Structure 1
Amino acid sequence: MQPSHRYIRLTAIALGVAGVISFGSASATGFQIRENSVKNQGRAFAGSAVAEKDASVVSNNPAAMVNIDTTTIRADVTAIDLTAKFSGGGTAAAGSPLARPLTGGNGGDPGDITAVPAMSIVVPLSGSFEKLTLGAQLSAPFGLKTEYENGWVGRYNALESEVKTIDLTLSAAVKLTDRFSVGAGFIYERAEATLTNAVDFGSAICRVSPAACLTPNPVAAPFGPQKNDGTVKVKGDDNGIGWILGFQWKPTDRLSIGYSHRSEIDHDLEGTVTFTKPGNVSALLGAARITQYDTGPGGAKLTTPSTDTLSVSYAFTEQFRMMFDAQKTDWHSLQAVNIVRANGTPVAQESFQWEDTMMYALGAEYDLNDRFTLRGGVAKDETPTNDTHRTPRLPDNDRTLYSVGLTWNANEHISVDAAYTRIQIDSPDVNVVSTSGSTLVGKFKGHADLFGIAAQYKF
């Protein structure tokens, strides 16, 4: 019996850590967040690597910091509101004589309004260093939060998921000529993750000790599928280091071309797994001296993906400009999540088989006058997931973004930006087996609304 209990516990840890890592962002496919600039958001993120008068280029393309001619500070915040609804059902203890339909509701709306902040500063130097520009930014490039109602039909796959990353990017740019600049940056990333889901201890005990579920009869038996639910909570954190490189070229006064590469960042998430068990389950496990469901350490390697961004901007007139972005995200770094003990012994694996994705964005800006600029854009964003491995922790699919934005130049020093983005998500299907042995089959429908506001001050 011991190996079976051990397997159940370790796969529960695997679900926890892997589920945190695969947690889906409402603002971009996978768990990516692009909202470090409300100006960029208003153009559906087109032109991010050649942006003018925007201090967020510190982490989008440091070479474009040369577009700013005086010390500039900027603060952005975007409220991301994900709305989603699940329809479907499933089977508990699938494949066993005790299999029965999953009970519970649809989980409600797992999304909640979440604020994503960013702060930037760009400092052009003078004198002997007049061709050098320095910058720094705090941002959150990955993560979001979802929470399903307790007791929902997919509780064995997901209840609460939260992942946070905070990046400190320190960048420098050199203007080699009047038309060409290069830049580089150092990234320090903090990652924190928390996940909970229900555990069907009744099914687990039935697999190990069928007599506990079959006598005197399945209905009156003290253990059985969905009779003895508990929970598992996994928490982990780590710090990682990465880098960014880029260039900007202006062949003419009207045309700007920018490219940047952000590196992968490796994390070794270390934390604990905590089980909450019903009283009769604790008593049975205690009497049998089975400790596999006790709280203990667990960990996994996480690699946030690299990104390559190509931006083009063309000014048709002094008032009207159009921008285009093509961004590749290397999600192939997340093929599987290997769970290990504190001593490094491998214990379980969760397969993802993610693929690299492309995002294409087209945007435009029009200066109404010296005070106001209008902008808008549309983007297509591919999902890294697939029908075979998709789970409720990432009910993700291809999406289309529609954005509008506005800048108000209050005076020569202060400007205020606002933007709204509507994200339409193609309905994803889910057909997945949980570590409790249940099968969940259904479909998600959802969308997201993004509301951004920012202020920038030029000294």
Structure 2
Amino acid sequence: MTTHRRFRRAALPAALLTALAAGPAAQASGFAVPESSVAGLGTANAMVANPDEIGAFVYNPAAMAFHDQSSLAVGALMIGPDFSVRTDSGSHDSAGADWLAAPMLQAALRINDQWSVGLGVTAPFGLETRWETGTFPALTNSAPLPSPPFPAGNTIPLSPQPTASELEIVDINPTATYRVNQHLALSAGADIYWGKSAQLNSSITQLEGDGTGLGFNVSALYVKDALSLGINFHSAATVELDGTYSVLDSNLVATQFSAPSQSGELDLDLPWRLQLGIRYEVTPQLAVEVDWTRTGWSEFKEIKVIGDLNGDTIVQDTNDWSDANAYRLGATYQLTDQTQLRFGYSYDETGQEDDYFSPRIPDNDRHLFSLGVSHALQDGWQVEAGYMYVMISERDVRGSRPYAGAGPEINGTDAVAGKYEAHAHLVGLEVSKRFDLF
């Protein structure tokens, strides 16, 4: 069940709308942002089999069953992305925000020895890129408008160039956990997705709006002595976005690039996610975890916009992404009774093939390096900090097919050819409190 919200402004071209689903973040492949707690940030997100840390709940809610107190954790993730591309017109930096913020909240209430309930709030998907007009020369040139009624001498861009792209999706995640026995716990919950903001602009159009969608998640955690095994699955979901679209120049209305302003609907397909983890306490101080994540990017096949005037398909764009893997290694070291050190490394594969490469997200395989620290205070309080560096492999895009010279379809063509480079810094801070509910 989903509900619709209203766009304040929206855009039309397929290239622009493709970016909504095509991508953000410099933190994980595609447009996923898996850093959901500061503990996860410090261990490169290798947390699905961790029964000890409050920060593991968002990666595997079944971990709540192995804590004998309730807890509340509140924090924020700061993301500093850096994108650039070298095209025939020179080197261009993405002029996005220097730092982006994402929320982190996790509440866990212990009802009794068998049952616990939780509520998490994170931002698992996001996007921020901004290319100045002229970055892609093939899309900057223009041609005369068709004959009157258009004013004589006016020109039209050969295709809309992607400019500003911004997307933030918040996941409100209520869960219930049942401890089957001493070693095994099961959990199930809902993923209530709120498309908090969406802005996708081109050289001739603009888009802003929001919407909602619904999915589910299930997880399990098995703990015996020094060994623990975890699994977590989030279903695919569709965020339904409603709104109106408009163009920046009224002369473009009724051309191949746009249509009259009207209300419209856009469905954004989110991928399913499967996480498996194994953790072993090598010594009382040192624990090591290895995780594998499979993200179902094949769910993201097309973008289709339906207009309200005649119910016509205004935009239909193919993306055809592939499922992708991530391999994560994390370690925790209990330096003292109060202080824990964390380290992590992850290799994330991209799901974006050359055939539909989008300049709104210079996505590629990436290496994630992280470290963190937590310190326990008095009366159940704990403070945590983490840092991650994301190194994205350079991508030399040639274009899988020639650009047709007109029309909105530019993804995967030689019109967006260039050398794309990106990296990101992530910093997280979180405060938590353990307490007895009853």
**Could you say whether these structures have the same fold, taking a TM-score greater than 0.5 normalized by the shorter chain as the test?**
yes
Matched, 1:50 2:47: no
Q: Name structure 1 gaps, 5 residues minimum.
A: 1-9, 90-102, 199-230
- Show the counterpart of 1:311: 277
Deviations 1:266-320 (A, max 9, x none): 1222212121118xx47xx7xx999954322233222111101111111011111
2:217 to 244, 265, 268: 244
Is contact 2:18–2:319 with CA below 8 Å preserved after alignment? no
Q: Which range moves more in the overlay, 31-40 or 344-353? A: 344-353
- State the alpha-carbon separation in 2 of the partners of residues 416 and 196 from structure 1: 40
SS at match of 1:144: strand
Matched, 1:196 2:201: yes
> When the two structures are aligned, how many residues end up with a matched partner?
394
Task: Return the offset for 1:437.
Answer: 7.8
Is contact 1:49–1:311 with CA below 8 Å preserved after alignment? yes
Task: Return the offset for 1:415.
Answer: 0.9
Q: Which range moves more in the overlay, 438-447 or 340-349? A: 340-349
Q: Which amino acid aligns with 1:372?
A: T
Matched, 1:457 2:433: yes
Q: Which amino acid aligns with 2:421?
A: K
Deviations 1:372-404 (A, max 9, x none): 111101110000011221111121000011111
Task: Return the offset for 1:82.
Answer: 0.8
Is contact 1:363–1:377 with CA below 8 Å preserved after alignment? yes
Q: Which amino acid aligns with 1:41?
A: L
- Show the counterpart of 2:261: 295
Is contact 1:358–1:382 with CA below 8 Å preserved after alignment? yes
Is contact 2:12–2:257 with CA below 8 Å preserved after alignment? no
Q: Which range moves more in the overlay, 27-36 or 155-164? A: 155-164
SS at match of 1:66: helix
- Show the counterpart of 1:425: 392
- State the alpha-carbon separation in 2 of the partners of residues 349 and 293 from structure 1: 14
- Show the counterpart of 1:181: 185
- Show the counterpart of 1:17: 17
Is contact 1:379–1:400 with CA below 8 Å preserved after alignment? yes
2:332 to 342, 365, 379: 365
Is contact 2:126–2:169 with CA below 8 Å preserved after alignment? yes
Task: Return the offset for 1:335.
Answer: 1.7
Is contact 1:320–1:367 with CA below 8 Å preserved after alignment? yes
Q: Which amino acid aligns with 1:13?
A: P
Is contact 1:26–1:82 with CA below 8 Å preserved after alignment? yes
Is contact 1:323–1:363 with CA below 8 Å preserved after alignment? yes
2:323 to 344, 352, 356: 356
Q: Which amino acid aligns with 1:321?
A: A
- State the alpha-carbon separation in 2 of the partners of residues 55 and 401 from structure 1: 19
Deviations 1:320-345 (A, max 9, x none): 10011101100000122223222542
Return the index of the structure with the highest Cα Rg.
Answer: 1
Q: Which range moves more in the overlay, 236-245 or 322-331? A: 236-245
- State the alpha-carbon separation in 2 of the partners of residues 387 and 291 from structure 1: 24
- State the alpha-carbon separation in 1 of the partners of residues 340 and 92 from structure 2: 43
Matched, 1:260 2:227: no
Q: Which amino acid aligns with 1:265?
A: A
Task: Return the offset for 1:105.
Answer: 6.3
Give TM-score scaled by structure 2 length. 0.84
Task: Return the offset for 1:120.
Answer: 0.9
- Show the counterpart of 1:163: 167
- Show the counterpart of 1:63: 62
Q: Which amino acid aligns with 1:147?
A: R
* Counterparts of residues 136-175 of structure 1 (less than 5 Å): 136-153=119-136, 156-175=160-179
- Show the counterpart of 1:3: none
Give TM-score scaled by structure 1 length. 0.80
Matched, 1:36 2:36: yes
SS at match of 2:100: strand
2:424 to 422, 425, 448: 448
- State the alpha-carbon separation in 1 of the partners of residues 122 and 257 from structure 2: 41
Task: Return the offset for 1:153.
Answer: 3.4
Task: Return the offset for 1:151.
Answer: 4.5
Task: Return the offset for 1:104.
Answer: 7.9
- 1:431/1:339 CA distance change after superposition, 3 Å: farther
Compute the RMSD of aligned alpha carbons.
2.5
- State the alpha-carbon separation in 2 of the partners of residues 11 and 39 from structure 1: 39
Is contact 1:264–1:305 with CA below 8 Å preserved after alignment? yes
- 1:63/1:88 CA distance change after superposition, 3 Å: same
Q: Which range moves more in the overlay, 440-449 or 322-331? A: 440-449
Q: Name structure 2 gaps, 5 residues minimum.
A: 1-9, 141-159
- State the alpha-carbon separation in 2 of the partners of residues 83 and 443 from structure 1: 14
- Show the counterpart of 2:85: 86
- 1:452/1:291 CA distance change after superposition, 3 Å: closer
SS at match of 2:54: coil
- State the alpha-carbon separation in 1 of the partners of residues 11 and 111 from structure 2: 54
SS at match of 1:35: coil
Deviations 1:7-34 (A, max 9, x none): xxx9943222222111221111100011
- 1:86/1:169 CA distance change after superposition, 3 Å: same
- Show the counterpart of 1:115: 101
